[in-house]
Chains A and B, each alone.
Chain A
Amino acid sequence: MAARRVVIVGGGTAGWMTAAALAKLLPGRCDVHLVESEAIGIVGVGEATLPHIRSFNEKLGIDEADFMAATRATFKLGIEFVDWGQIGDSYIHPFGTFGPGGGDVDFHQFWLRLRQQGINVPDLDRFSMACTMARMNRFALPSRDSRRLDSTFGYAYQFDATLYAPYLRKIAEGMGARRTEGRIVTVHRDGETGDVTSVQLESGEKIEGDLFVDCSGFVSLLLDKTLGVPFQDWSKWLLNDRATAMPCRTEGQVTPYTGVIAMPYGWRWRIPLQHRTGNGYVYSSQFLSDEDAAEALIGAVEGERIAEPRVLRFKAGRREKSWVGNCVGVGLASGFLEPLESTSIYLIQAAITALLELFPEQHISAVDRDEFNRLIDLEYDRIRDFLILHYHATKRSDTPYWDYVRTMDVPDSLAEKMDLFRRRGRVVKYREGVFLDASWVAVYLGQRVIPQGHDLRADAPSAESLVAGMQKLVGEIQGLSSGMEEHGAYLRRYCPMTEAA
């Protein structure tokens, strides 16, 4: 069978992740040809990632320490949310469980029960390995033995996305992927089927293909500009449409977590890499001008500025279909969700995984395409609800921005979930969603959504035995964490960056 000619439109993170995965995992099935223009900058979103990226790297045969050194990466155990429920609040959304895991009653139920009984138990994040390590600025790789407490956390990376793409490019080209430099000026389509047949560059060169992957970012050259696939606009729930980004030199500790700090008209990220710290203010242009945002950001960050603030524009939502005809959108070309929970690279990865599993033959089957779209829509929709939760579950009323999000109507799917949690701390189960129960619990409780009751099965043990068990658990978590290396020291030993910035 002849290999399919796959043309990837656009480099950047999405383009090179796609190219590397296809070239490495489907050799013989496809010829990968990537077209990118150095004149078009890349957005380089998502310097902070989710633990899923590890399995992606593993499949590509990437050595962790080598990759981390090359992308100047640090470890990430979770996200610290500051000032969200109320100004002065702070909680960590950890990668991992609360409590030792296992058992049919969730740990937080026992915790809720004791609190409701008026017993003063430590904060929930003291029962999380990941939260405790993050607060203590420690790191070690998790144990593989699921009976051990130090197996109950996961981790991801914070890295320089502008270095990840070239790293993947080497792998892709090593596996035979071709790259052409140039700006696309025309997209040619079959008069009958409407399928894209080729893209034409400024130079006049035509690149033909059977399958086109749109990695052109916000431009959405194929899905939007060529095929006119409608966009589902979610900005009535996710107001933010701008970000201003500005890197600084890292000063002080390199934290093993991302910082997400609520601001008067949005929020600010803080992503520590080995050589610098990424900063940015994500806001709504209805409420804040670009100049004021930049000023607020400059006022808030620590460390010496490396560059001036740069503004990005976007809109929350997704294309009604991510795969239309013979064009598949990956990354920003298919949708955008603000990086509040570091989902940008995850969404790229989800699309690539689905494309690999549903990779078409010469004739593209509607069954494959429909399934791809179903899977991607599910991913977007679930993350959407989780993000909206962060805005809606707040007591803040310091600006019209927070007043709006606090009182807005949320999607029914989220309203039901919140209602259910308020009753007795139940989390609607999603076995295959990206954010599992502990994530929802962390955000609910961290943002002051306090259940009135609890799971009655949590009443079975005596209060004394529970309190004693919890004290022991906190001690063990504390002990294990303090025995670990300091995060910065771990990085210097494990994966020091190859050259200074």
Chain B
Amino acid sequence: MTAANTADRMRDVVVVGGGLLGWSAAAALRRKIPALRVTVVPLPPPPDALAERISSTLPSIIEFHRDIGMSDGDAPLRANCSFRLGTEFQHWNGPLPSYVHAYDRYGQPFGTASFHVHWVRQAQAGPTPPFDHYSPAAAIARAGRFTLPETDPAHPLAHFEYGLALDPVAYPQMMRACALHLGAIERQGAVEGVRIDGETGFIAALALDDGSEVKADLFVDCTGPRALLRGELDQAFEDWSTWLPCDRLLLADAPPAADPSPLDRAIAHGAGWRWIAQSRSRTSHGFAYASAEISDDKAARTLRGHAAADPQAPIALRQGRRPQPWLRNCVALGDAATMVEPLEWTNLHLAHSAIDRLVAMMPDRDCAPVELWDYNRQCAAESDRVRDFLALHYAASNRDEPFWRQVRDIAPSESLAHTMRLFAERGRLPFYEDETFTRDSWLAVLLGQGVIPRRTDPLIDSVPPGQSEQAMAALRDGISRIVPALPTHAEFLNHMQRQAAR
């Protein structure tokens, strides 16, 4: 058994794509499975590869860095990255104030019920401070401050996580250096053709522009939506545009702010939404919209007006996913697998998650269908729930423009409908496998957009409302005492730099 095994082992992997994603995949493969020979064909990423272009990332990136052996300080100190604590959503629901989705615990459970049940009961009884007033990270972010989470679980600042705002030049460079350091091999060239084995349907080799061929056991496609390799095997695609109607994206870069906010802004617009994400290296502006509702020219004028910078050419956005990101010996990562608008910044997260899965599930050279089946099943479950979470922002809005009314009139996916039904009834959230966003994240958006459950959970009966209010006031006080003492984001970054220089 042992001998046969060794011959069947996966040996050669070729990663096509020279942006941060290709290099990240190569680094993880080398780090976790040193027996693999990993070659990167560094094609420049196309402008519509959002996992490459969107600089705001979710907290999962921190874990990804640790997994490939990087320290938490590497990205901010060596690649000019800054921190982000969440997103403020403005005008998504008419009369309600803006709300913050931070990567944090909202409130603290007490008595026999979770915190939001207490909040819901107060909200049903009358005006009450917004739900995000119970997240320390949301308060810190609104104040433009930053600090790292505390390690003592009893500390109010122990439960939040943070993401990074990436530098578009320094970060890919660092990942490349990291992958090369870990032993990945770089092979320059443009891909002229994909040769497919007539018998097995596997990719046999890539033809490069210098006339040479690159062979491998497994091909990893990081070439963006066009999916240069994976697209040769099939074109199956599951379209999400009924639920996520934006089909265009505009990006514009403005100079950085002196003290960049760790809180991104997502501002609803009559035909979509736009965003502002400040980082150390730039202020990114973007506009996601439905081309049927607003012309590219008008959208560009709108964005230019807000950004005071010229937008780049519009990106066509076809939201959805491949039913099988991994087919035979070719696996698609990032936009080649799933394309989704940057709302909630999941583009790179989904790609990282796929890399983790690829490494954990690495099959033999035969790429047995049963193993690919499990990989594809998990990818599907994960991206469908991300789709649901994004669609929730539209489904739970009460804006009046035709764009918003249309999306609201469409029945949500079965899983989102189930979630919203359960929540609207009694504030319960169902469990799904491979969920990206925590219960607190779902709560932040649902309650932030004014979805108030019809009734309260009976398990809260043993706590009288007065007692809830007392505990809730103590939480608010605790948060408001902590915030002013923290450094601003720029102060924190400067301090970090000084410490490292010592």
Contacts and interface: CB of A to CB of B under 8 A. Distances in A.
Contact of A424 (B33, B34, B363): B363
A456 B362 contact: yes
B373 A29 contact: no
A432 B428 contact: no
A26 B459 contact: yes
A371 B429 CA distance: 11
A466 to B, nearest CB: 15
B458 A359 contact: yes
A224 interface: no
Contacts of A28: 461
Given A365-B425, A371-B422, A371-B428, A29 B32 contact: no
A368 B426 contact: yes
A365 B453 CA distance: 13
B364 A27 contact: no
Nearest to B366: A423
Interface string B446-478: 000000000101110110000000000000000
Interface string A438-462: 0000000000000011011101100
B421 A423 contact: no
Interface in B91-121: 112
B116 to A, nearest CB: 14
A457 B360 contact: yes
Interface in B24-77: 32-36, 67
B308 interface: no
A357 B368 contact: no
Interface in A105-121: 105, 116-118
Contacts of A356: 458-459
A456 B2 CA distance: 14
Interface in A173-208: none
A104 interface: yes
Interface in A1-51: 25-29
Contacts of B462: 27
Contact of B33 (A116, A357, A460): A460
A431 B430 CA distance: 13
A104 B28 CA distance: 14
A367 B361 contact: no
A358 B427 CA distance: 11
Given A357-B428, A457-B359, A426 B374 contact: yes
A452 B374 contact: no
Given A361-B455, A365-B425, A460-B34, A453 B364 contact: yes
Given A357-B428, A367-B421, A420 B1 contact: no
A26 B433 contact: no
B10 to A, nearest CB: 7
Contacts of A409: none
Contacts of A371: 422, 428, 430
Given A368-B425, A452-B5, A453-B364, A420 B374 contact: yes
B433 A457 contact: no
Contacts of B457: 357
A32 to B, nearest CB: 14
Contacts, number: 84
A427 B425 CA distance: 35
A420 B2 CA distance: 19
A251 interface: no
A432 B364 CA distance: 30
B371 interface: yes
B125 interface: no
A485 interface: no
B370 interface: yes
Contacts of B361: 426
Contacts of A291: none
B70 to A, nearest CB: 16
A454 to B, nearest CB: 9
B5 A453 contact: yes
A361 B461 CA distance: 13
A25 B459 contact: yes
Interface string A57-71: 000000000000000
B34 A357 contact: no
A382 to B, nearest CB: 12
A301 to B, nearest CB: 41
A419 interface: yes
A29 B458 contact: yes
Interface string A331-373: 0000000000000000000000000111101000101100100
Contacts of A357: 428, 457, 459
A295 interface: no
Contacts of A116: 1-2, 5
Nearest to B369: A419
A144 interface: no
Most chain-A CB neighbours within 10 Å: which of B10, B422, B425, B458?
B458
A457 B33 contact: yes
Contacts of B422: 367, 371
A423 B370 contact: yes
Given A357-B459, A459-B35, A25 B112 contact: yes
Interface string B393-434: 000000000000000000000000000011001101011010
Contacts of A455: 360, 362
B33 A456 contact: yes
Contacts of A117: 2
A429 interface: yes
A276 B184 CA distance: 65
Given A26-B459, A368-B425, A432 B374 contact: no
A141 interface: no
Interface string B370-393: 110110000000000000000000
A416 interface: yes
Interface string A123-154: 00000000000000000000000000000000
A367 B425 contact: yes
25 contacts: A26-B458, A26-B459, A27-B462, A356-B459, A357-B457, A357-B459, A367-B421, A367-B422, A367-B425, A371-B422, A419-B370, A423-B364, A423-B368, A428-B374, A429-B433, A430-B433, A431-B431, A456-B33, A456-B36, A457-B32, A457-B33, A457-B359, A457-B360, A459-B33, A459-B34
Q: Which 10 residue pairs are nearest across A and B when measured between Cβ atoms?
A: A419-B370, A367-B425, A456-B33, A29-B458, A456-B362, A457-B32, A359-B458, A26-B458, A367-B421, A432-B431
Interface of B: 1-2, 5, 8-10, 32-36, 67, 112, 359-364, 368, 370-371, 373-374, 421-422, 425-426, 428, 430-431, 433, 455, 457-459, 461-462
Given A116-B1, A457-B362, 11 more contacts: A29-B458, A29-B461, A104-B360, A117-B2, A356-B458, A357-B457, A367-B421, A368-B426, A419-B370, A420-B371, A424-B363
